[in-house]
Chains A and B, each alone.
Chain A
Amino acid sequence: MTAPEAPSSPPLSAAWRRAFKAEFTTAVLGSVGMVLIAGLWIAHAYGTNAIAAFWTGSIGSWYALTSGTLVRAVPLILTGLGVAIAFRAGVFNIGAEGQLLAGAIAATVVGLQWAPVIGRLSLPCALLFGATAGACWAGIAAFLRARFGVLEVISTLMLNFVAEDLVSYLVRGPLQEHLHIYPQTEMLPHVARLGRLVPAGRLHWGIVLAVALAVLVWWALSRTAAGFRLRAVGANPFAAATTGRITVSSTSTGALLASGALAGLAGAIEVTAVTYALYENISPGYGFTAIAVAVLAGLHPLGVVGTGLLFAALETGATAMQRDAGVPAVWASAIEACLILIIVAVVARRRRHPIDAAEAPTS
């Protein structure tokens, strides 16, 4: 997961690396054990075809892989990246969901309005405006934080609900399709849609974009001066301000805006590549799962790709299990939660009892 010249990381990530070294086996055994027990229980209660349904419905078949897991991974990776950037800067952006919706709204409006005018250019414009809208939505929280000291944990969380209600209003009001029957917008014209990556199936170019952005974010955090400042502010704002003479507030504002832009882009891609229209519940909580995706990856941008895929596989597999074998999808959520708990517990334990007891107080 880390390159040879591994960039340093905030406490969490450092703890992670240590956890991986020393208690990797514990975590792996615990997780595998948990999954096995859950699997056996499901097999016992619902029959072995439930497990088979999970497998073929997530990564066990070409169709499920390309049309299910990978498609679902795109918004998870992008929002996860956004959350990771913010958390690395010490900004607790819990509002990726709202920023994603803001991006989806902007992309829908741009795609619908501009496609007849500027044709193919409306797609990049939709993505660009989607990212900008996400940044602006996060910008509200950034402004409140910088101007009035409002905790971003509260403001970003609250703005999620505002965004959800805004979508509800728009798809029933000004943006509703012309028959006024369904609570959704018109379908985007083909010129404003993101292309498919494979001929059959729903996989689109978004996955390439998401992975490329993960690499870009990783590179920026580890190699650029701005990325270094962001990490420094997140790891120790006092030292960043005193020794680094960094303006902490503007660095955290920048991180929050970048975070919102990535979530907004995720929303724009959902609309232009998957749903082709805006409606309520366009996101099954991608922005919330993103927090788990980012934390589980130790806030490492490349790790986010892995955990994004993992969660996408779990969720699509669970859906398949429910559809084909009648196993409630909450089973997958429960397993997901258990996995997170095991790994977080291991990390927390490691942080409290560092291996290197070299913290001698004097000399």
Chain B
Amino acid sequence: MVQQHFSNVAAFTVAENVALGSRGRFSPAAAARLVLDTAASAGLELDPSALTSDLTVGAQQRLEIIKALAHGARVLILDEPTAVLAPAEAMQLLAWLRRFAAGGGTVALVTHKVLEALGSADHISVLRRGQLVTTGSTDHFTADALATAMFPDAPPEMPTRPSPGTTQGKLLVEAVDLNLRGARGERRIANASFTIHAGEIVGFAAVERSGHSELLRALAGLFPVNAGELRLSGRVSYVPEDRHRDALILDFPLYENLALRNAAARSGLMDWSDFRHRTRVLLDEYSVQAESPGTTARQLSGGNQQRFVLGRELEPRPDLLVVENPTRGLDLRATAAIHERLRMAASAGAAVAMYSSDIDEVLLLASRILVVFRGTVREVPVVRELVGRAMLGTP
């Protein structure tokens, strides 16, 4: 089983992680040999002595697979494996899965991407609300039929991308030779210069650990600028990637989660009845399914949590909205709702700086795209191939 969120011990080496779960004595050399043998026979590449925390997401995923294979697995279950991968890596993985299946293995692939299922599976089953809706050989399905099976009432239409802004709005963000360094002084962003204007959605595309997380946090005012300049004018709101960790206090009621936004700036007494009232308005406006403002954030589904977070961050009418993987883990309909809100915010005059690990989401929403690769930032035309190549550093 390869989970959507990996289950490795970050401080262990690859070999140690693979050895975890075996019985008997632990021998580093034997573990390393096991990794190399498994990797070689499976046709995957992985350094057994690498520290797991240093691995890229793609490599961590290979580690998960090798872990399963090393323990003799012949059936692999993968939960949304391509969600965290760059397009090229995703293609590689899917191709490998085909080879694994051809070699006599069995793969169960959980995905919400219709094309991925059609492109790599022999057999497709659609589950909805815990029920098996339909199942059959891949030949029997078309993309439309699958989407309808997944969302019987009104399958969401793929909206067309807005044309790149013809009239430029007010200049909101100006980065000049911006440099960001990590906690240990390692360079994250080097000499980045770019601008963001009111009314546009600027997409950031990058593979994991390219420095884009630090850049977005710096835009949100949450990461210190090391050198160069980052001029921001106006109010900034931030929708972090990991809503459970960074955006919500799951055991607090919604009205307290509303009050959490910029709580550092508050003083004196908390006017809870006002927060309750504002929460009620927000729940209504963003169609968040919650019993009352007193419901805890934990009781909401992922889509409702994300709508709540987005609504909260848009409440003070920010000039710049920074969003990171805004639809991670959401189904198509919830995703469409979030996209709609982002577009509305932009057309209302806010600038949106948006990152998604799903390149198609960036292409779908952004009117301009900045690609971050190993700390360098450059603007790339909104063309899938060009963006994909720039993300991997190939010219």
Contacts and interface: CB of A to CB of B under 8 A. Distances in A.
Contact of B263 (A8, A14, A244, A354): A244
A232 interface: yes
A20 to B, nearest CB: 15
Interface stretch (A145-153, A195-203, A221-229, A334-342): A221-229
B299 interface: yes
B270 interface: yes
A9 B251 contact: yes
B249 A235 contact: yes
Contacts of B259: 228
Contacts of B247: 239, 242-243
Contacts of A356: 298-299
B253 interface: yes
Contacts of B252: 8, 231-232, 235
A360 B301 CA distance: 5
Contact of B249 (A239, A359, A362): A239
Nearest to B296: A14
Interface string B291-330: 0000010111111000000000000000000000000011
A11 B268 CA distance: 25
A240 interface: yes
B268 A224 contact: yes
B331 interface: yes
A44 interface: no
B238 A242 contact: yes
Contacts of B240: 242-243
Given A8-B253, A223-B270, A240 B263 contact: yes
B245 A229 contact: no
A11 B260 contact: no
A363 B334 contact: yes
Contact of B251 (A11, A244, A361): A11
B260 A363 contact: no
A358 B301 contact: yes
Given A236-B249, A358-B300, A359-B298, A225 B261 contact: no
Interface string A321-363: 0000000000000000000000000000000001010111111
A363 B302 CA distance: 5
A225 B249 contact: no
B264 A247 contact: yes
A238 B251 CA distance: 14
Contact of B268 (A225, A231, A363): A225
A10 interface: yes
Contacts of B267: 225-226
Contacts of A14: 251, 296
A248 to B, nearest CB: 10
A11 B250 CA distance: 9
B102 interface: no
B235 interface: no
B251 A243 contact: no
Contacts of A354: 298
Interface in A88-141: none
B250 A236 contact: yes
Contacts of B238: 242-243
Given A232-B249, A359-B298, A244 B264 contact: yes
Contacts of A228: 256, 259, 263, 266, 270
Interface string A240-261: 1111111100000000000000
A240 B334 contact: no
Contacts of A10: 251
A99 B262 CA distance: 33
Contact of A232 (B245, B260, B303): B260
Contacts of B303: 362-363
A239 B247 CA distance: 5
Contacts of B334: 362-363
B121 to A, nearest CB: 20
Nearest to B259: A228
B302 A238 contact: no
B212 to A, nearest CB: 16
A363 B265 contact: no
Given A243-B238, A358-B301, 15 more contacts: A8-B256, A14-B296, A223-B269, A229-B263, A232-B249, A232-B252, A232-B263, A235-B252, A239-B247, A240-B249, A243-B260, A247-B264, A354-B298, A362-B301, A362-B303
13 contacts: A8-B253, A224-B269, A225-B266, A232-B249, A232-B252, A239-B248, A240-B263, A241-B222, A243-B246, A244-B261, A354-B298, A359-B299, A362-B303
Interface of B: 221-222, 238, 240, 242, 245-253, 256, 259-270, 272, 296, 298-303, 329-331, 333-334
Interface of A: 5, 8-11, 14, 223-226, 228-229, 231-232, 235-236, 238-247, 354, 356, 358-363
Closest 7 CB pairs of A and B: A244-B263, A225-B266, A242-B246, A363-B303, A14-B251, A360-B301, A245-B264
